[in-house]
Amino acid sequence: MTTPLVLTVISADKPGLVESIAQVITQHGGNWLESRMARMAGQFAGILRVDIAADAVEALRVDLENLTSLGINVQVAISGQADEPAQQHLLMTLLGNDRPGIVHEVSQVLARHGVNVEQLETECTAAPMSADTLFKARAQLGIWPQTDLDSLRADLEGLADDLMVELLDFELD
C-alpha cells in the first residue's frame, strides 16, 4: 500500500537542487508523480506529489529534512484522497493597472462566490507605450454548478474600471 505525499520545496536557486530531492525520493522507493517548480527572485520553489510505501514515509521525511544542510527546505504533508464533490472548471484571465492589494481584492471576490483557486500565476509587466505597470493573472478555478458566472464577472470587473476579465470553461485531462 502506498501513501500519497505532497512536498513543498524552497531554496536559493543552484544547480543540482532538483537532483538532490529526486535522489532522496528514489532512495526510499518513492515515485515522483507530478510537480510545479519555478525560479523567482533568485529562489527556487516548488510543490510535488509523490507516492511511497507507507512504511517508508518517516525515513523519507527525515532524509528530506536533512537536506536543510544543503540549504534546501522541504515540508512533507500526507495527501488526503477524500472523494471531492464534482466541480466545473474555469480559466480566468485578468489584465489591468497594477496596484497594491489587487490579489487580495480578487481573492476576496472569488472566496465570496465560493470559488476554489486551483492554480494561480501572476506577473507585472510594463504597459506598451506608457510607464504604467500592468497586472496580469491567469488562474484555474473550481466552481460549483450553482455559481452565478455573470455575478462573479461583474464583481471582478467592479474592482477597477480598467480591469478586463475573461472566464472560459474547460475540462481537466
13-46 tens-digit pLDDT: 999 999 999 999 999 999 999 999 999 999 999 9
- 88-170: what CATH class? alpha beta
pLDDT at 130: 84
pLDDT at 131: 81
pLDDT at 173: 53
37-55 tens-digit pLDDT: 999 999 999 999 999 999 9
Backbone angles phi, psi at 84, to 5 degrees: -100, 145
C-alpha–C-alpha distance, residues 51 and 49, integer Å: 7
pLDDT at 135: 95
Q: How many CB atoms lie within 10 A of CB 48?
A: 20
Could you give the residue range(s) of every CATH 3.30.70.260 domain in the chain?
A: 2-78, 88-170
* Residues near 146 by beta carbon (within 8 Å), at least 6 away in sequence: none
Residue ranges of the chain with per-residue pLDDT less than 70: 81-85, 171-173
Backbone angles phi, psi at 14, to 5 degrees: -165, 155
Name the E strands within 41-129.
Answer: 43-53, 72-78, 88-97, 116-126
pLDDT at 85: 66
CA distances from 62 to 58, 86, 87 (A): 6, 36, 36
Question: Is domain 2-78 given the CATH code 3.40.190.80 in the classification?
Answer: no
